[in-house]
Amino acid sequence: MKIIVLTGSPNVNGSSNMLANEFIKGAIESGNEVVTFDTAHINVKPCGGCVACGYEGPCVQKDDMEKIKKEILSSDMIVFVTPLYYYSMTAQLKTVIDRFCSFNSSIQHKHLKSALIAVAWNNDSWTFDALEVYYKTLVKYLNFSDRGMVLGKGCGTPSMTANSKYIYEAYKLGKSIK
């Protein structure tokens, strides 16, 4: 299976990327091919809302989204990885998702598997409520088949994350993908 991992953290050595790496390790051990895009450090412009794409055509913007689109449309699964920023995903990851509109139908017809991996400093029971609702909405709208979520509460620093159960949970999720 080919898996696309979209990471959204500006901090390449941060907690969410630690979990992404564990997921990737497990997924590769299970025989999967993994392609990763670091959305915080690539050239993807926000959707301009011009609708020149007609929601299923070429985008007028020429940037790294073309590479991401090609990989998504040749994949079986997409994994969204983000630190929690004001109870949602990072703007960098959201910018890439917003650009899905130019190949919306193609994504919907693929029936991709999906997963969400996120971390937050907070440890409150409601910490991930808004992000979970957004992710579940994407799953419904894009006809994804959700394979799971790893929501790392209390993972505000890499050392907090390294000593948490979420490292193993991310690995286990990756390992379960076949």
pLDDT for 131-141, tens place per residue? 999 999 999 99
CA 135 – CA 4 distance, rounded (Å): 16
Task: Write down the mean pLDDT value for the chain.
Answer: 96
**Is residue 70 within a helix (H) or strand (E), and if so which, with residue range?**
helix 65-73
CA 19 – CA 169 distance, rounded (Å): 9
CA 61 – CA 5 distance, rounded (Å): 22
Prediction pTM value = 0.97
- Does residue 120 sit in helix, strand or coil? coil
Residue 98 has what pLDDT? 97
Q: Which candidate, 76, 142, 81, places its Cα nearest to that of 106?
A: 142
pLDDT of 93 above 90: yes
Superfamily of domain covering 2-176: Flavodoxin domain (3.40.50.360)
Residue 177 has what pLDDT? 97
Amino acid at 173: L
pLDDT of 45 above 90: yes
Q: Which candidate, 19, 171, 146, places its Cα nearest to that of 82?
A: 19
- Work out the pLDDT band at 57, boundaries 50, 70, 90: confident
- Work out the pLDDT band at 23, boundaries 50, 70, 90: very high
Residue 90 has what pLDDT? 97
Average pLDDT over residues 136-158: 97
Q: What percent of the chain has pLDDT over 90?
A: 98
pLDDT of 32 above 90: yes
Burial 101-137 (b: 16+ CB within 10 A, else e): bbbeeebeebebbbbbbbbbeeeeeebbeebeebbee
CA 56 – CA 106 distance, rounded (Å): 7
Helix, strand and coil in the chain, % to nearest 5: 40, 20, 35
Residue 155 has what pLDDT? 96
pLDDT of 109 above 90: yes
